Amino acid sequence: MNRSIRRVGAVAALLILALLVNISASYLLRTGGLDNNPQNRRVREAQFAQPRGAILAGNTAMAQTVPAKGQFAYMRDYTNGPMYAPITGYYSFIYGRSRLEQVYNAELTGTDDAQAIRRFIDQLSGREPEGASVQTTINPKAQRAAWNGLRGLKGAVVALDYTTGAILAYVTSPSYDPALLASDDLDGTQKAWADLNADPNRPMSDRAGREIYPPGSSFKLVTAAAALEAGWTPETKVDSPAQLKLPGSSTYMHNSEPCGGAKVTLQQALKVSCNTAFANVGLELGQDALRAQAEKFGFDSSFGSDVGSATSVFPTGLDQAQTAMSAIGQFDVAASPLQMAVVAAAIANDGLVMQPYFVSQVRAADLSLVKQQQPVSLNQAVSTETAQQLQQMMQVVVSSGTGMRAQIPGLTIGGKTGTAQSDGSRPPYAWFTGYAVELHVAVCVFVEDAGTDEDQSGGATAAPIFRQVVQALKG
């Protein structure tokens, strides 16, 4: 009898020990995740009862907490909400959080491990806990210029410091006001959510980094890079017929303008954006070389850090006709504006790809430094020699080619235009991606429904917006 009791006691002791271990492990390992889970209503109610840190662009508070008179003690206020929405995201009692409001929630609420000592001191002193502020890399002047440039258009602009990867401007149009979702009028918040999601213009879509589109001729930078890495030079000549019958099909590829002869140099082909020439380059290099080069620039993988980008795609299993189309950024090639900004940035940075990021610093309420972001290099997309050759080629595109509308006196500008067909029922997409040497900035502009006739070209529609953004950074 005593032996049976001892066995039951031992089992009960083991169960109690297991329970204690589980509780301790949950407290130590899962608290942060549970606190930052946007679906945790109990935590959310507590967070709406205390000040939340600001999200800053320079000295401008893109998002900040203000006292409220309704059912919450505090509410989120968004300065120029639609302009900054794809960066800040929203902070909503019903719908949780998105973008930086979610990525840096622990810091903004003051619940991250780095602020543990400050929380303890606040508890001892009876002070109301305060979250840390998040300092972004966004340049307000460049952001405003990009926003104004896209006024009335669907599209996106991304600007990067190509030496560090710091994002200087990040705009998507049309956009939405996060304040509509941060209101303490919960019925109004639900209506706003329904209206935004029902809007056919998709104002909550992040066209800058979380949507992918056919990049068209802007992708010729990748094809040119693959050719130069394979031993070609800017003076290597390639067949450039007025039309090219795609292998194994009855379809012909055409050029929008004369290329300058039946055989032109790689430099000339990029300058005038010769489709048939680049299709022939792609056919000679093959799909594997094109894909490998695209992946070195970041295709087929997502950028890390706090950006949370979509994955740009170079297709697999191509036949010859599909390879030719892919070489000019058509068929199933798809890229985000962020990705194409990274392509231009890597070329301008002598081939080195830097990881894009939004946040430079996190500072506690007493301004003490909590976190500092250091630039991170991802990989060498092309050799320094190839990058410098591409720089010269892109500068010719702007000085005397399809990108002349991107010229800015006093600055060395390189770039590439792009016009991409999506489907026959809509106008094409317009692209311009390029860089300004003296400012260490790379910018990609993407415009949906770019219009008809001349306005279809990236040079006519997107390049002027590029110029506006760079001029804002120039000051």
Catalytic residues: 217
Residue 288 structure tokens: 């594997």
Distance CA 302, CA 291 (A): 16
CA distance 12 to 415: 72
Which residues are within 8 A (CB) of 328 and not within 5 positions of it... i.e. 6 or more apart?
Answer: 216, 217, 219, 220, 223, 253, 275, 278, 279, 282
Q: Which residue type is seen at 357?
A: Y
Which residues, at least 6 apart from 339, have a Cβ–Cβ distance to it below 8 Å? 212, 297, 298, 299, 309, 312
Q: How far apart are CA 168 and CA 159, in angstroms?
A: 5
CA 382/CA 458 separation, integer angstroms = 25
Q: In this structure, what token pair is assigned to residue 120?
A: 């303890």
Amino acid making up residue 185: D
Task: Give residues with Cβ within 8 angstroms of 32, minimum separation 6.
Answer: 106, 111, 112, 113
Side-chain-facing half-sphere of 156: CA atoms under 13 Å = 27
Which residue in the block uniquely carries the two structure tokens 């893109």?
A: 62
Using an 8 Å Cβ cutoff, are 335 and 416 in contact? no
- Who's near 116: CB < 8 A, 6+ residues apart? none
Query: In angstroms, rounded to a whole number, what is the distance separating the alpha carbons of residues 238 and 279?
Result: 10
- Sequential DSSP letters for 237-302: EEE--SEEEPTTSS-EEE-SS--SSSEEEHHHHHHHT-HHHHHHHHHHH-HHHHHHHHHHHTTTS-
Please write down the long-range contacts of 448-457, taking CB distance under 8 Å and 24 or more positions apart: 448/153, 448/154, 448/155, 448/207, 448/213, 449/153, 449/154, 450/419, 451/427, 452/427, 455/430, 456/419, 456/427, 456/428, 456/430, 457/256, 457/402, 457/417, 457/419, 457/430
Give the strand pairing for 359-363 and 429-436: unpaired
Residue (of 101, 78, 75, 77) closest to 89 by Cα position? 101
